[in-house]
Amino acid sequence: MEEQHKTILRQKRINLVMDMDPSALYEPLFKKGVFNPDMIDAIKSSGTRRDQARRLVRDLETQGNRAFPLFLESLRESGQQGLIETLLNGAPPVQFQPTAPIAVRPVVQPLPISSPMDVNEQSKYIDPGCPVERANKSPSTTLDEEYFKPRPESRTRRDSLQCYKMDSSPCGYCLIINNADFEPQSKLGNRMGSNIDSEKMERRFLALNFTVEVKRNLKQRQMKHELSALSTKDHSQYDCCVVIILSHGTEVNHSRFPGAVYGTDGSHITVQYITNLFNGKNCPSLQGKPKLFFIQACGGGEKDMGVLVSPVETCPSVDWQDDQTDNIPTSSSSESLSTSDEVDARTSLPTPSDILVSYSTFPGFVSWRDIQAGSWYIETLDRILELNAATDDLASMLMMVNNEVSQNSAKGLFKQMPGSFNFLRKFLYFQTSE
């Protein structure tokens, strides 16, 4: 597909996902040769109407230069003229071309798989009415011939990449641990603004059809108890599990997932310990299902002052004036930054599948939190999910979060870079209301 047509589809994807009726397009798109039966079956099995519309638009981009005008023609035939106007608003004109009936297209009979034979021997297996494609293809080959020639097997395999099943109701459990007030003996400062983060995540995952439970100000032992209780639940009727931890953090030695988060008593629990509770061995009812962990905590004590970039990379940065971090110790000064929740800067290559751990900051660095608006990471994550969950997969949305948070600056000086350890095997699309 031409790049300008891909751009149109991407810019109008939300409109297509919200308003398109994909079921009315299957027959015309098949008759016009845009999709084959296997691809249509894959789209139908992708889930809700929105899921099918999203998959159809994504697969359409891989289907050659004639796919876009044939898609517009199919929309017109199915009575979805309004979407054509939406797509072509401000776009270059697209020529509608008559589609040749499939029945009259020449059919190439497959060559037998046997010992090599010379050209004369091979020629008897070819339909004499079908032009033979040569190695040095003539520049005069028509677009119609180019598009409808047999496609490589690898392309079909790429198109069949699956999405996680995410249609249970509710979709799964979401546990939020919000440690905002720390005991004096912990020598950790209170995390002003953390309650705002907790409320945002509770509303967001309720909207994404999760059963949400919020636990506030837990000691290390209590954190372990709640996490263990969640991992031992029967998740067989659900499709996903989410854990969100808002706390101070620190660096620890690790062999898989870096970092640790603190209980309000000043004792920490490692991220590796948390994820191990939910792996396929310890939580069989979540085998093959996505386990998502969002960690708002510092990654260390370093403050990132950023690097100079070329004008092309320069974006307007947001300057946050009342920022704190979640590392240790926190100064008692009202002007100080709270320390970030630290994660270990050393990494290894973990092997668990279907696990994603999203960190608010790069290992070794602080994570910034505004005492009135909440943390940079959670505020941005919440907004990206609200705006894009209907059309984009989780990995793509986390990349958006990374980009937006990287544009912020604390006191006009310090930066932050979120990141994730992603061991998901499929696309993950959240449920959204119709």
- Between 318 and 201, the more confident residue is 201
Residue 411 has pLDDT above 80, yes or no: no
Residue 72 has pLDDT above 80, yes or no: yes
Supply the CATH number for residue 13's domain.
Answer: 1.10.533.10
Q: Which residues are tagged catalytic?
A: 248, 298
Four-residue CA torsion sign, 421, 388, 413, 321: negative
Task: Evaluate whether residue 117 is within a structural domain.
Answer: no
- Between 362 and 82, the more confident residue is 82
**Per-residue confidence (pLDDT) for residue 255, from 0 to 100:** 67
Residue 11 has pLDDT above 70, yes or no: yes
Task: Evaluate whether residue 104 is within a structural domain.
Answer: no
Find the angle CA(63)-CA(65)-CA(67) to the nearest 5 degrees. Answer: 50
Domain endpoint, select from 36, 64, 88: 88
**Per-residue confidence (pLDDT) for residue 312, from 0 to 100:** 41
**Per-residue confidence (pLDDT) for residue 41, from 0 to 100:** 87
Same domain, 68 and 177: no
Supply the CATH number for residue 328's domain.
Answer: 3.40.50.1460
Domains in the chain, number: 2
Same domain, 305 and 412: yes
Residues 6+ apart with CB under 8 A from 404: 380, 384
388 is in which domain, residue-wise?
172-422
Q: pLDDT class for 397, splitting at 50, 70, 90?
A: very high
329: preceding bond cis by omega (within 30 degrees): yes
Task: Evaluate whether residue 155 is within a structural domain.
Answer: no
**Per-residue confidence (pLDDT) for residue 228, from 0 to 100:** 97
Torsion region of 275: left, alpha or beta (phi above 0 gives left; psi -120 to 50 gives alpha): alpha
Q: pLDDT class for 90, splitting at 50, 70, 90?
A: low
Average pLDDT, the chain: 75
Same domain, 65 and 189: no
Domain endpoint, select from 32, 54, 88: 88
Same domain, 76 and 192: no
- Between 304 and 386, the more confident residue is 386
Torsion region of 90: left, alpha or beta (phi above 0 gives left; psi -120 to 50 gives alpha): left
- Between 301 and 256, the more confident residue is 256
Q: What is the pLDDT of residues 197-212, one digit of tens each?
A: 999 999 999 999 999 9
Distance spanning both ends of the chain, measured CA to CA:
30
**Per-residue confidence (pLDDT) for residue 208, from 0 to 100:** 97
Q: pLDDT class for 375, splitting at 50, 70, 90?
A: confident
**Per-residue confidence (pLDDT) for residue 317, from 0 to 100:** 44
201-205, 253-257, 376-380, 383-387: which has the minimum mean pLDDT?
253-257
Q: What is the pLDDT of residues 24-66, one digit of tens each?
A: 999 999 999 999 988 888 888 878 888 888 889 988 888 888 8
The predicted model gives 364-375 an average pLDDT of: 74
Same domain, 310 and 402: yes
Largest CA distance in the chain: 90
**Per-residue confidence (pLDDT) for residue 206, from 0 to 100:** 97
The predicted model gives 356-370 an average pLDDT of: 78
